[in-house]
């Protein structure tokens, strides 16, 4: 049985060095220093902190070495075998014909040490929380294993010679491109969504505080003209502030997370690649797709954009070494009118049907929500009003609280009704 690449140890120990610092200075510093510690106390405790960090780091070293010694994989004529683990060892055997998805992940540290993580999943419900097979190998070896497993899964014989069909796997022949123009538009729409919901929260706050001012006559809030002016300025400022944070986060997500996004097909296989700091290459068979989901938030519906996602047998979110949170994404952003064209290229059998009639569940959907919202708001209002009555709070204050709660419920109900109407 072949062991994993030694680069796993080196990359793991580099990340463990940072983890040791975090453990010592976040969780153990209070054991050696009190809240009023001076610089002299810190200097005196420094040797103990260093010893604690060395001990913790040595534990990480021992774990990495034992994991390397106890882990490995083997490809036989009919199946793939994998051993891994230290305290709880796991031995997995998977027949080639039962492979549902093969995924490659390469983080920034993995790239530095030239390794990658290959996961192979059967889609079994017994192992839905993680992939059956996890292999940590040299990046070139992982690419060769990915192609070999795809060939063996289809019952063919793997050959290292390139054919004309294999050229289709290159990024130049991608069936969809997430270009810089689309990424900027994707970013702007996300900023618009952030600004919209920030403004909505601002309107709710203005309603609540305005009712309190009306009922209680709060002179500290100024005249009504001053109150609304300050409220609008604060809301606009909050929209700008949150939009800046949304801009930064969305640019990082779109330009870094979806860097060099491409979709390629090779026979019955679909391969989706994306990511800069952490590169994902997800491969699955066409017949493993269970469902196609076309999603639009409120702003995207208004502007005519959408995202296409897949539900594929064998895609798992492993809490360990294979955390694939984006495996469901087929197309992260496109015009709604282009959905049929994209699916026609990538998934010709999954062309969506336009809804011909209005949903009959509209009224129950809204009415049940209103009923639950009213009961919840009523219970919370009673919990607030009863103590006020017991402690003799003025009726005007109680009325202000009640009217403010009613205003918030009315706005939430209006938003829910609009959402149900557009759905």
Alpha-carbon distance 398 to 382, whole Å?
11
Residues 60 and 75 in one domain: no
Question: Any idea which residue has 């420094």 for tokens?
Answer: 46
Residue 246 near residue 191, CB atoms below 8 Å: yes
Residues 156 and 295 in one domain: yes
Tell me if 135 is assigned to some domain: yes
Q: Which domain does 400 fall in, by range? A: 362-422
Residue 173 near residue 167, CB atoms below 8 Å: yes
Sign of CA dihedral 184, 186, 191, 192: positive
Tell me if 220 is assigned to some domain: yes
Q: What angle do CA 329, 334, 338 make, to 5 degrees?
A: 115
For residue 101, the tally of other CB atoms under 10 A from its CB is 22
Residues 162 and 299 in one domain: yes
Domain count, the chain: 4
**Among 330, 353, 379, where does a domain finish?**
330
Residue 66 near residue 42, CB atoms below 8 Å: no
Residue 290 near residue 205, CB atoms below 8 Å: no
Exposed e or buried b per residue across 311-342, where buried means at least 16 C-beta atoms within 10 angstroms of its C-beta: ebbbbbebeeebebebbbbbbbbbeeeebeeb
DSSP state for residue 352 in the 8-state scheme? P
Residues 133 and 104 in one domain: yes
Residue 55 near residue 44, CB atoms below 8 Å: no
Residue 211 near residue 407, CB atoms below 8 Å: yes
Tell me if 349 is assigned to some domain: no
pLDDT tens for each residue of the chain, 423 residues long: 888 988 888 888 888 888 888 888 777 666 666 666 677 766 777 787 888 889 999 999 999 999 888 889 999 888 999 988 888 888 888 888 888 888 888 888 888 888 999 988 876 645 555 677 888 998 888 888 888 888 887 765 555 444 433 333 344 457 888 888 889 888 888 888 888 888 878 887 887 778 777 777 777 777 877 878 888 888 888 888 888 888 888 888 888 888 888 888 877 788 888 888 888 888 887 777 878 888 888 788 888 899 988 887 655 444 333 333 344 778 889 999 888 888 888 887 766 555 555 555 555 556 667 777 778 888 888 888 888 888 787 888 788 778 878 877 887 777 777 766 765
Question: Any idea which residue has 């994306």 for tokens?
Answer: 274
In the three-class reduction of DSSP (H, G, I as helix; E, B as strand; rest coil), residue 417 is classed as helix
**Among 70, 101, 119, where does a domain finish?**
70
**Among 216, 233, 257, where does a domain finish?**
257
Residues 60 and 79 in one domain: no
Residues 79 and 52 in one domain: no
Tell me if 96 is assigned to some domain: yes
For residue 177, the tally of other CB atoms under 10 A from its CB is 13
Residue 173 near residue 42, CB atoms below 8 Å: no
Residues 169 and 283 in one domain: yes
Residues 191 and 97 in one domain: no
Tell me if 339 is assigned to some domain: no
274 - beta bridge partners?
280
Tell me if 337 is assigned to some domain: no
Residues 49 and 187 in one domain: no
Tell me if 300 is assigned to some domain: yes
Residues 194 and 90 in one domain: no
Residues 152 and 285 in one domain: yes
Tokens read off for 112: 């530095």
Tell me if 46 is assigned to some domain: yes
329 - beta bridge partners?
309
Residues 166 and 286 in one domain: yes
């Amino acid at each position: 049985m072949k062991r994993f690449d030694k680069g796993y140890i080196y990359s793991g120990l580099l990340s463990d060095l940072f983890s040791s610092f975090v453990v010592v200075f976040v969780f153990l510093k209070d054991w050696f220093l009190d809240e009023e510690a001076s610089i002299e106390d810190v200097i005196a405790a420094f040797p103990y902190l260093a010893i604690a960090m060395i001990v913790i780091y040595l534990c990480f070293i021992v774990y990495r070495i034992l994991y390397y010694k106890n882990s490995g994989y083997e490809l036989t004529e009919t199946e793939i075998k994998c051993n891994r683990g230290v305290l709880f060892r796991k031995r997995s055997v998977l027949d080639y014909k039962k492979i549902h998805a093969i995924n490659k992940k390469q983080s920034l540290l993995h790239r530095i040490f030239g390794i990658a993580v290959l996961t192979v999943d059967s889609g079994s419900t017994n192992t839905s929380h993680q992939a059956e097979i996890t292999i940590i190998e040299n990046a070139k070896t992982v690419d060769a294993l990915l192609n070999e497993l795809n060939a063996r899964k289809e019952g063919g014989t793997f050959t290292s010679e390139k054919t004309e069909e294999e050229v289709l796997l290159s990024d130049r022949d991608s069936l969809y491109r997430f270009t810089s123009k689309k990424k900027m538009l994707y970013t702007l729409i996300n900023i618009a969504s952030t600004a919209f919901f920030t403004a909505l929260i601002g309107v709710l706050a203005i309603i609540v505080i305005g009712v309190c001012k009306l009922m209680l006559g709060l002179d500290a809030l100024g005249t009504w003209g001053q109150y609304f002016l300050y409220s609008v300025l604060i809301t606009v400022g909050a929209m700008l502030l949150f939009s800046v944070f949304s801009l930064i986060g969305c640019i990082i997500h779109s330009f870094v997370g979806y860097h060099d996004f491409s979709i390629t097909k090779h026979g019955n296989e679909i391969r989706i690649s994306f990511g800069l700091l952490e590169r994902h290459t997800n491969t699955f068979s066409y017949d493993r797709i269970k469902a196609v989901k076309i999603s639009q938030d409120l702003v995207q519906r208004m502007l005519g954009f959408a995202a296409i996602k897949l539900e594929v047998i064998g895609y798992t979110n492993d809490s360990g070494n294979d955390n694939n949170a984006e495996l469901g994404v087929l197309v992260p952003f496109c015009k709604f009118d282009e959905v049929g064209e994209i699916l026609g290229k990538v998934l010709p059998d999954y062309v969506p049907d336009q809804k011909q009639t209005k949903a009959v569940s509209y009224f129950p959907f809204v009415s049940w929500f209103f009923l639950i919202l009213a009961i919840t708001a009523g219970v919370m209002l009673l919990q607030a009003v009863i103590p006020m009555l017991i402690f003799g709070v003025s009726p005007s204050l109680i009325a202000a609280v009640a009217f403010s709660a009613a205003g918030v419920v009315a706005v939430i109900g209006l938003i829910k009704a609009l959402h149900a109407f557009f759905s």
